[in-house]
Amino acid sequence: MQKKTIIVLVVAVLILGGGLFYESTLYTDLDIDMEGYVPIEERGYESTDSLISAMELNEIKDRDDVAVIDFRRADAYAMGHIPGAIQVWRSDVTDPDHEYAGMRISHEGLANWLGENGISNDDTVVVYTSGGGHDAARMWWMMTMLGHEDVRLLDGQLDFWRALDYDIALSSPGRDAVEYEMGEVDESWLVTADDMLAAIDDENINIVDTRNNDEYTGAMQRNPAERAGRIPTPIWIEWTENLNEDNLIKTADELRDIYEAEGVTPDKAAYNYCQSGVRSSHTTFVLSQLLGYEDVANYDGSWIEWSAREDLPIESDQ
C-alpha cells in the first residue's frame, strides 16, 4: 500500500474582530492511500467541470489563461502556497459596511477585485484553501453568481497538493491588472431571509442546515449570532459529510446515500445555510455541480442575520 504522510502544522482557532469564527490551517496531516485513490472522472458525478484534481492543476497551472486563488489568511499564504497563486481572505470579499457581519461584497466589488488581481473573464480560475475547502467553495459561489464561466475547486485542497510533494512557493509575482467585464449576474444562486421564511412551510423546498450539531441543537452560540438555535424545519447534514478523511470529496453514490437518506432529493429545491454562508457554499457546490440538483441556493446572511432579527422564528433543543 503506497502512502504519503505530511507534517501537521495548524494555527489555533481564532476569533476575528468582527466575531466570525474560523480555523486557519496552514496544512493538515494526511495519510494518503494512493492505491485507493478514485479519480474525479470515475466518481460518478453529474459533471466534473467545476472540480479539478491536484494532478491536473499541476499540469496546467503555468498557463497564462489559468489563475489560481489561495483563499487563506496572508500569514498562512506566506508560509507556503501553490506557485503563482493569488492570495485572498474573507475581509477582501465581504462588505465591511453591511449591517450583518460576513455578507458578500457586491458583484461590482468582486469584479473589481478580480480585475485588479489580473483575472480576466476568459481565465480558468482554480480556488483552494486548506482543510475541507468551504472558503474556496464560497469564492466559487460568488464567481458563479457573477457569471464567470470556468471556476473550479481544487479537490483535496492545499493539503492533498502538499501530500503529493508538488512545488510550494513562499512568494509569487502578481499578475498585471486587467479590466474584468461585468457579465449577466445570476442571483438564482442566492436566497434571502424572506425566501427562507417562506420555505419553512413549503413542502417543495428543503432547508439544509450545514453547521455542526451543537450549533444545530442550540447548545452552541457562535459570535456574532444574537440567539442560539436553528431556522425551523431544517434537515441537518453537516457540510463535512461531503468529505473523506483525506479531504477529497466523496463519490456520487456516497453523497446520494447521505442526502437522499435525509430527504434532500433532486425533485425539491435545497436552500442551504450555516453561520455566514461559507460552509453552506460547499453543500451548494456539491448538490448543484456534483449531484446535478437543479434548484440549489445559498443563504448569505445565514444564522448571523436570522438570529439577529427578532421577527424571525427559531427552533432549539435547549
At 37-76, the pLDDT tens digits run 999 999 999 999 999 999 999 999 999 999 999 999 999 9
Catalytic choice (76, 88, 119, 274)? 274
Name the percent of the chain lying above pLDDT 90.
Answer: 88
**Shared domain check, 197 and 136:** no
Q: Computed from CA positions of residues 249, 140, 126, 173, in that sequence, does the dihedral angle turn out positive or negative?
A: negative
**Shared domain check, 147 and 194:** no
67 beta partners: 125
Q: Does residue 129 fall inside a structural domain?
A: yes
Is the pLDDT confidence value at 10 over 80? no
CATH number of the domain that 278 lies in? 3.40.250.10
Predicted pLDDT of residue 6 = 38
Name the percent of the chain lying above pLDDT 70.
Answer: 90
Q: Does residue 201 fall inside a structural domain?
A: yes
Confidence class for position 24, pLDDT limits 50, 70, 90? very low
**Shared domain check, 150 and 9:** yes
At 177-201, the pLDDT tens digits run 999 999 899 999 999 999 999 999 9
**Shared domain check, 201 and 299:** yes
Average pLDDT of the chain, as a whole number: 92
**Residues across the chain:** 318
| H or E element that contains 151 | strand 151-154
Q: Does residue 179 fall inside a structural domain?
A: no
Q: Which domain holds residue 301?
A: 187-308
Predicted pLDDT of residue 167 = 97
32 beta partners: 4
Is residue 256 among the annotated active site residues?
no
- Return the C-alpha cell found at 302: 445565514
Q: Does residue 75 fall inside a structural domain?
A: yes
**Total domain count for the chain?**
2
* Alpha carbon of residue 138 to chain centroid: 4
Confidence class for position 25, pLDDT limits 50, 70, 90? low
| Residue spans of alpha helices (H) in the chain | 54-60, 74-78, 107-116, 134-146, 157-163, 193-199, 213-217, 252-261, 279-285, 302-308
Q: Does residue 318 fall inside a structural domain?
A: no
**Shared domain check, 204 and 134:** no
